[in-house]
Structure 1
Amino acid sequence: MQTTRFKDGRRVEYERRSDGRPLILLHGGMAPREYWTPVVPHLEEYATIVPQRPGFGTCLDDTAETSADEVLEREARYVRALADDVDGVPILFGHSYGALTALEAAADAAVDAIVAYEPAVLPDEFRKRADLADRMEALIEDGRRHEAVKRYVKLVLHPDGIDDLDAWLAEWPVWPDCVDLAEEVLRMNRAVERYRLPDSLDVDAPALVLTGTDGPDFLRNSARAVHDALPHSRLVEFDGISHSGPAEAPEPIAAEIESFLGRQ
């Protein structure tokens, strides 16, 4: 395990594996750092750098004091700190909220390229009626933390419905420990609901935007919108793959990434 420090003395721990071009893997949602375990063996030509997001097991002490308005910038800062710390100019590979963080960080960090799988961006018509953060906040205030996190899982991970959510949760590796993260997930969701995608993203690095046909329609639409907002972007859609694409189908996704980066 290695450590990098912010200018104000705070630190973030991360795992580094193998050698080669540095590739920083940024998990999303409530996924733990282990989300990338199926992916890393397919990226052996790179030095994969796998941090844990602030508030999700890192050494940052002040996450409880971080407002929703500060969450995204806080996470972009930690990605910039990592980018400055590693040997060489890194590539950022983010999934969902990690993809949004990668895009935000790349505006002010020196990066070779960005890979973004279904960034957590809400289309305008969807964002205007989004109220997951309010629902979660009400449940947490009522002492129903488990229900708050279940609401997140149901609406974000299974927006098209699921027959037996309790059975699915019983098999989910991070349940029920993730209930401890309820407040952080609330802040994250409120940050997503408030984020507005600009017409043009101030990112000079080449970007690969990925999406899957079996994920939520609004995220597929958002992937296309992000692609359109990036000045140097390639969009690839995978047939039969869901929002969990990198962990669900690491081999074809890694092959697409290798093809893209080989041209950079």
Structure 2
Amino acid sequence: METVTAADGTEIAVEHDGDGPPLIALHGSAATGESLQPIVSQLAADYTVTVPDRRGRGASGDGDDYSLNREVADLQALVDAVDGEPVVLAHSFGGLVALAAAPTVDISRLILYEPAVTVGESADPPLSAQVRSLADEGSDTEAMRLFFEAGSGIPDVTAMPWWPEQINMDWVETVIRELEAVETFELPALDFETPTLLLTGEHGPRHLAEGARAVVDAHQESRLIDIEDVGHLGLLSEPEHVAELVTTFVDDPAAVGQ
């Protein structure tokens, strides 16, 4: 595993797979780059895929202060470290990072799977406060369960084969700070020209589908595809289908979406 030094000096761990044009894949909350292996293994046939552990996760470091802008700067450092303008494929909170970076970072194509963009009325109290309350009571497991079920639309996370063994409960603090970033993010005017594909799952959370539609409505270079019979983790459950959509869109953005 290599590292890329972010603007604030934080070391961001990255792995590379495949041989071809550059593609950067950003994971979501409560995960590391390893979680994207199903889709990465598909895309590595056509691209050199760079997969970081976002700050505060896995083998990456973390700074004293956190903000969405720090994550945007991390993506800028990753883009600077590859050869040419990369495609960026991003999931969930990684999708919010990539969307926030798009106006200032040189990206050839942007593919966002259910980016963590919310529109309309917020929960009261906000999800970040609900998760924080459980964590403060000493129940990190219940806090993470609430995050997955309310934030990702998973009806019963305890039924998932990866729960709880593959979840690091110590990440509850990074989950809370990312929820706070989602809750304070306001969708700006999206006047960047990067062709952008929004992907949603038929069974994904409604609030993320609404956010994806808001991005498409605000950005004239965006297109949207709703993938049947999958939820928020469609990148992992249907990697062949998603990889096919990615490669088709990269070759000809007009060939997919609506």
Fold match (TM-score > 0.5): yes
Is contact 1:15–1:50 with CA below 8 Å preserved after alignment? Answer: yes
CA RMSD of aligned residues (A): 1.9
Helix, strand or coil: the match of 1:208?
strand
Structure 1 counterpart of 2:65, which letter? Answer: T
Is contact 2:91–2:112 with CA below 8 Å preserved after alignment? Answer: yes
Which residue pairs with 1:109 in the alignment? 105
What is the deviation of 1:144?
Answer: 2.2
Helix, strand or coil: the match of 1:31?
coil
Helix, strand or coil: the match of 1:37?
helix
Structure 2 unaligned runs (5+)?
Answer: 254-258
Which residue pairs with 1:83 in the alignment? 79
TM-score by length of 2: 0.90
In 2, Cα distance between equivalents of 1:260 and 1:166 = 35
TM-score by length of 1: 0.88
Is contact 1:203–1:231 with CA below 8 Å preserved after alignment? Answer: no
Which residue pairs with 2:42 in the alignment? 42
- Whether 1:260 aligns to 2:249 is yes
- Whether 1:195 aligns to 2:188 is no
In 1, Cα distance between equivalents of 2:52 and 2:163 = 19
Helix, strand or coil: the match of 1:196?
coil
Which residue pairs with 2:32 in the alignment? 32
In 1, Cα distance between equivalents of 2:4 and 2:138 = 36
- Whether 1:245 aligns to 2:241 is no
Helix, strand or coil: the match of 2:38?
coil
Which residue pairs with 2:176 in the alignment? 186
Q: How many residues align?
A: 252
Is contact 1:26–1:51 with CA below 8 Å preserved after alignment? Answer: yes
Is contact 1:130–1:193 with CA below 8 Å preserved after alignment? Answer: no
Residues 42-191 of structure 1: pairs in structure 2 closer than 5 A: 42-43=42-43, 44-62=45-63, 65-67=64-66, 70=67, 72-125=68-121, 127=122, 129=124, 131-158=126-153, 161-162=155-156, 165-168=157-160, 171-172=161-162, 175=165, 177-191=167-181
Say which of 195, 203, 208 aligns to 1:214.
203
Is contact 1:54–1:75 with CA below 8 Å preserved after alignment? Answer: yes
Residues 173-203 of structure 1, C-alpha deviations (whole Å, 9 max, x = no match): 66365111111111111111111212x2142
Residues 188-244 of structure 1, C-alpha deviations (whole Å, 9 max, x = no match): 11111111212x214221111111211112211111111112231111111112111
What is the deviation of 1:120?
Answer: 0.5
Helix, strand or coil: the match of 2:224?
strand
| 1:130–1:229 Cα change, 3 Å | farther
Is contact 1:32–1:174 with CA below 8 Å preserved after alignment? Answer: no
In 1, Cα distance between equivalents of 2:250 and 2:235 = 16
- Whether 1:4 aligns to 2:4 is yes
Helix, strand or coil: the match of 1:190?
helix
Q: Is the deviation greater in 11-20 or in 45-54?
A: 11-20
> Segments of 4+ in structure 1 off by > 6 A?
none
Structure 1 unaligned runs (5+)?
Answer: none
In 2, Cα distance between equivalents of 1:118 and 1:213 = 11
Structure 1 vs Structure 2: percent identity of aligned residues?
A: 36
In 2, Cα distance between equivalents of 1:59 and 1:40 = 19
Residues 142-179 of structure 1, C-alpha deviations (whole Å, 9 max, x = no match): 222222112212212335x33xx4443xx316636511
Structure 1 counterpart of 2:97, which letter? Answer: T
